[in-house]
Amino acid sequence: MIYFIQSPHDKRIKIGMSENPNLRIRDLQTGSSSKESHVPLLVLPGGRKRESELHSVFKKFRSHGEWFNPVPEILDYIKQETQEEFKYCRVCGKLYLSTPDKIDIQAHSKAHKIIRIGGYPYSIREFMKEMAWAFLANETPTVEISTQLSKDDIKRVIVYALWSRAKESGLQDYDFDDYILDYMDFLDAKLSGNNHDFKEISKKIEKRWEKF
């Protein structure tokens, strides 16, 4: 996951990536001489590729390493991402607090970890079982789209299966968020019928994930 953390003494902002942002915040605090806590400003779904993209966007404001000066451009980005109280995560399908909270960050990180190792959400497990039972009974599978099963849920069935294959081919866990988000965008473009968008995301998919 991508995190924006602010230093208590010079107000610089660290843009980094961690599977457990809370642990990273704790490590930073342990290594700091300040008694004040580092402040999490924003936590977003994403892996090392999205981290790299954000570093590139804000590169002229870099102080050193992953630390950036607290310029209006970065603060405005954070403000825009935290305008709504809750954000919808396309990786896990859950809502999370836009302004980071330790308990919420922990729950969100845990949800991603469970999915990475094959522990799929209830709605997706039920979908898979119903499809399999219908196939075994030689029936035409029919699944009603209800409040418990959204179109994004069905897309995630496909994308999680692709992730399992990619992981077997050597893709690392820290790529999980990026991989899921890219393939969700791919399915969006494919189903929209917009050939331009489909070609653009297809190029990104081929460049990033072709060998997996």
For residue 33, is pLDDT > 60?
no
For residue 143, is pLDDT > 90?
no
Range scoring the smallest mean pLDDT among 29-38, 83-92, 156-165: 29-38
**0.95 exceeded by pTM:** no
Higher-confidence residue of 116 and 145: namely 116
Task: Say what the pLDDT of residue 12 is.
Answer: 94
DSSP string, 106-138: HHHHHHHHHHHTT---HHHHHHHHHHHHHHHTT
For residue 34, is pLDDT > 80?
no
Range scoring the smallest mean pLDDT among 18-27, 91-100, 145-154: 145-154
List CB contacts of 22: < 8 A, sequence separation 6 or more: 102, 105, 106, 109
Higher-confidence residue of 92 and 131: namely 92
Instruction: List the one residue out of 159, 137, 36 whose CA is nearest residue 90.
Output: 159
- Quick one: CA torsion of 152, 204, 74, 99, rounded to 10 degrees? 20
For residue 52, is pLDDT > 70?
yes
CB atoms under 10 Å from CB of 125, counted, come to 12
Task: Say what the pLDDT of residue 198 is.
Answer: 95
Task: Say what the pLDDT of residue 148 is.
Answer: 66
For residue 76, is pLDDT > 70?
yes
Q: How confident is the model at residue 150 (pLDDT cuts 50, 70, 90)?
A: confident
Are the C-beta atoms of residues 96 and 111 closer than 8 Å to each other?
A: no
For residue 65, is pLDDT > 90?
yes
Q: What value does the mean pLDDT of the chain take?
A: 90
As a whole number, mean pLDDT of residues 20-43 equals 79
For residue 49, is pLDDT > 90?
yes
Spans of all domains in the chain = 2-115, 119-209
Are the C-beta atoms of residues 43 and 102 closer than 8 Å to each other?
A: no
d(CA 25, CA 18): 10
Q: For helices 151-168 and 122-136, give the axis angle rounded to 10 degrees.
A: 90
Task: Say what the pLDDT of residue 149 is.
Answer: 75
Task: Say what the pLDDT of residue 105 is.
Answer: 94
Instruction: List the one residue out of 44, 45, 47, 3 whose CA is nearest residue 21.
Output: 3
